[in-house]
Structure 1
Amino acid sequence: MFSTLLSIIALAGGTSAFPAQTDRRAVNAGVQFVGVNIAGFDFGCSIQGACDVSKSVPPLSGLGGADGPGQMQHFSKDDGMNIFRLPVGWQYLVNGKLGGTLDSGAIGRYDQLVQACLKTGAYCMIDIHNYARWNGQIIGQGGPDNSQFTNLWTQLATKYASQQKIIFGVVNEPHDVPDINKWADTVQAVVTAIRGVAKTQMIALPGNDWTSAKMMPTKSGPALLKVTNPDGTFDNLIIDVHKYLDSDNSGTHTECVTDNISDTFQPLATWLKANNRKALLSETGGGNTDSCKKYMCQQLDFINQNSDVFLGYIGWSAGSFSPATYELSEVPSKNGNSWTDSSLVKACMTKKN
């Protein structure tokens, strides 16, 4: 949950409802989407939505970061992955000017990653990695007004309106938002703005509590169910959820302690089915350890077996993280023209056998 903040530091220095299965053939069946986050443009963003753009590390080798395009090509070709989430700071895109236009240099650099993603044939999720905030103030609740946020999204939707494989991820991990109904109003404003120019692409709707999959059915979900397209339909409005497997659900430990099935994904599946909605697990991850391989494979096996309501999952994270220092690294290593996946990705998160 707090992994982007901790990445800056790193760079500087259950009972299953189904039989436990860790065989990759079982894990790989089912869902439409399997992929990985390609982080780096979000580095420097804190959980209070304050982004120091000087600390961003674009996952583009020509800009001093990792070879994000090469990683995506490998994941797509060798692992069968077909979705990548591309986090970026709001401040980065507008050069720190709240309500401003997209900075031509910044969007040009970010678009290099987007185009590299699209070139693989995968779906590409734009993720504003700001925790529902701008410099500590909550959007629509004492901070930026909804129009300032929708201005950003109108510009992004206009730029990518012709790309049907772009997914618009409203914002990363809202947390401690006082009024969930006002937050739903903000999400509705974003959906309406996007639909003004991009009529059919998927939009991922985030709830409160760090986009908690566990809390969604009872806390954020009832409010988000009211968000509609301008014509009153729910087509391609996807519930966005996150869930980690460590002891405090923070995504900061290398050991995993739960498969999240009985207390999170089973109740969420029941709620989604009852409301005829679908969800995307756009962040989940763990260490490259035996405990995480065990529990992650069980978690993803359950999600695959409930692909009628779960569209898929996206691991956290590859991109510009350092495999030597980042606890949840999913960065593949390269030797010549060959790539080798981290042990967790290899065990649980590839789509091909």
Structure 2
Amino acid sequence: MPDSLRVRSACFSPLPRRAGAIGLAMLLSCGSLHAEPNDLCFRGVNLSGAEYGEADGVEGVNFTYPSASTVSYFAAKGFDTVRLPFKWERLQPSLGGPLDLVELDRLKTSVAGLRAKGLSVILDPHNFGYYSGSQIGSADVPSRQFAQFWIRLAAEFANQEGIAFGLMNEPHDIAPTVWLEAANMAIAGIRTIGAGNLILVPGTHWSGVVTWEQDFGRGSNASVMLSVVDPLDRYAFEVHQYMDKDLSGTHEACVNVDLAVDGMNKLSDWLRAHGKRAFLGEFGGSSEPQCLEGLTRMTQAIADNPDVWLGWTYWAGGDWWAEDEGNNIQPTDKGDRQQLSSLIPALNPEAQDRGWCVMNSAR
């Protein structure tokens, strides 16, 4: 391995539990080192299902984790990462209390199955910045309780190869400064217990690419989230972007491809200017020609800027998706979904040794 990749391997691999002062000093010196050209850490898919239903729902009736056949399908296609959504309230039924052992076992079993197929896993509490209807940072859900949740969860997966921590899915209607405080408390808690895993930090306003620099009256993500603090500097911003009329991913027609791609390119410039990195945690489109073109252009926008992008995970697959759901890429009895014609060329299974990656999933 070239010396440059050896340095990156130290910067972007999980911290050993007993790294010592020398190891910690090396990690703290890594700063904003960039990736080798044409190589990304993540080319993956969201496998939805475990976030479904009410907190007291029944597995197999109200929610489901990815089946072995679904995992095998996407691994065989060349996807290397799964973003795994789950429900916070089900994993921690009482705010501030212990994790539910039954649900934790389900989560661990699912993660083990994904890792057995060589897939990296991004843990995703899919709660939009809320717990039981109350906002993180409110009197009902203080930021310290969000941090305590992550301390408990991180302890279960600390320094495991191929596991990243996505702090929260799409916080919204939360002031950026309030969300920043919660995110920083969670990051501090994760690092305090010795977990060196990559942390993916969203902004507010659904963490949209196009809106990253927009101020909705309480500060923009671009200004506020520059104050994220991670003593290991092993984090990236998680952003999402769709291409339909309201950028929500809920409509079949992709009428805003140019807007989305332009937003990706502008964000690349912003990341580079500030020495930051990002990950596209959700994007998607229907099988309409405009959408297929858009998927190609969005993955290419990331491939063209590998110094500031860690990669992407498409939204979505999953065993319970309706066949007529526009963004769905779960296979049917008819075969592969059309969107794969745009995604598979971007998977690049012949990529060079990715030892510098945070996930190190190719080894």
AA at the equivalent of 1:80: G
3-state SS in 2 of match to 1:333 = coil
Does the Cα contact within 8 Å between 1:212 and 1:241 map onto a contact in 2? Answer: yes
Q: Distance in 2 between matches of 1:301 and 1:30?
A: 12
Q: CA deviation at 1:262?
A: 5.3
Choose the corresponding residue for 2:64, options 58, 63, 85.
Answer: 58
Under a length normalisation based on structure 2, what TM-score does the superposition of the two structures give?
Answer: 0.78
Q: Distance in 1 between matches of 2:325 and 2:194?
A: 36
Listed as ranges, the gaps of 5+ residues in structure 2 are 1-37, 215-219, 350-363
What's 2:89 paired with?
91
**1:283-314 residue CA offsets vs partner (Å, 9 max, x unmatched):** 01111222210111112112211111111110
Matches within 5 A, 1:101-250: 101-177=98-174, 179-218=175-214, 219-229=220-230, 231=231, 233-234=232-233, 236-250=234-248
**1:97-145 residue CA offsets vs partner (Å, 9 max, x unmatched):** 2222111111111222111111122210000011111122211134301
**1:184-225 residue CA offsets vs partner (Å, 9 max, x unmatched):** 010000001111224321100011111111222451132222
Listed as ranges, the gaps of 5+ residues in structure 1 are 1-28, 46-50, 61-66
Q: Distance in 2 between matches of 1:228 and 1:181?
A: 13
Does the Cα contact within 8 Å between 1:126 and 1:166 map onto a contact in 2? Answer: yes
Q: Distance in 2 between matches of 1:221 and 1:332?
A: 38
AA at the equivalent of 2:103: A
Q: Report sequence identity in percent.
A: 28
Does the Cα contact within 8 Å between 1:42 and 1:56 map onto a contact in 2? Answer: no
Matches within 5 A, 1:255-266: 255-259=253-257, 260-261=259-260, 263-266=262-265
> Are 1:341 and 2:345 counterparts?
no
Does the Cα contact within 8 Å between 1:157 and 1:198 map onto a contact in 2? Answer: no
Q: Distance in 1 between matches of 2:332 and 2:348?
A: 19
> Are 1:299 and 2:308 counterparts?
no
3-state SS in 2 of match to 1:252 = coil
Q: CA deviation at 1:165?
A: 1.2
3-state SS in 2 of match to 1:53 = coil
What's 2:8 paired with?
none
Does the Cα contact within 8 Å between 1:283 and 1:313 map onto a contact in 2? Answer: yes
**1:307-341 residue CA offsets vs partner (Å, 9 max, x unmatched):** 11111110111113334242211112368xxxx43
**1:119-177 residue CA offsets vs partner (Å, 9 max, x unmatched):** 12221000001111112221113430122212211111110013131110111101111
What's 2:7 paired with?
none
Distance 1:52 1:247, change over 3 A: farther
Q: Distance in 2 between matches of 1:326 and 1:262?
A: 23
What's 1:290 paired with?
289
3-state SS in 2 of match to 1:35 = strand
Structural RMSD (CA): 2.0
3-state SS in 1 of match to 2:347 = coil
Q: Distance in 1 between matches of 2:324 and 2:261?
A: 32
3-state SS in 1 of match to 2:83 = strand
Does the Cα contact within 8 Å between 2:43 and 2:347 map onto a contact in 1? Answer: yes
Does the Cα contact within 8 Å between 1:53 and 1:91 map onto a contact in 2? Answer: no
Q: Distance in 2 between matches of 1:346 and 1:334?
A: 17
Choose the corresponding residue for 1:41, options 29, 45, 50.
Answer: 50
**1:18-42 residue CA offsets vs partner (Å, 9 max, x unmatched):** xxxxxxxxxxx64331100011011
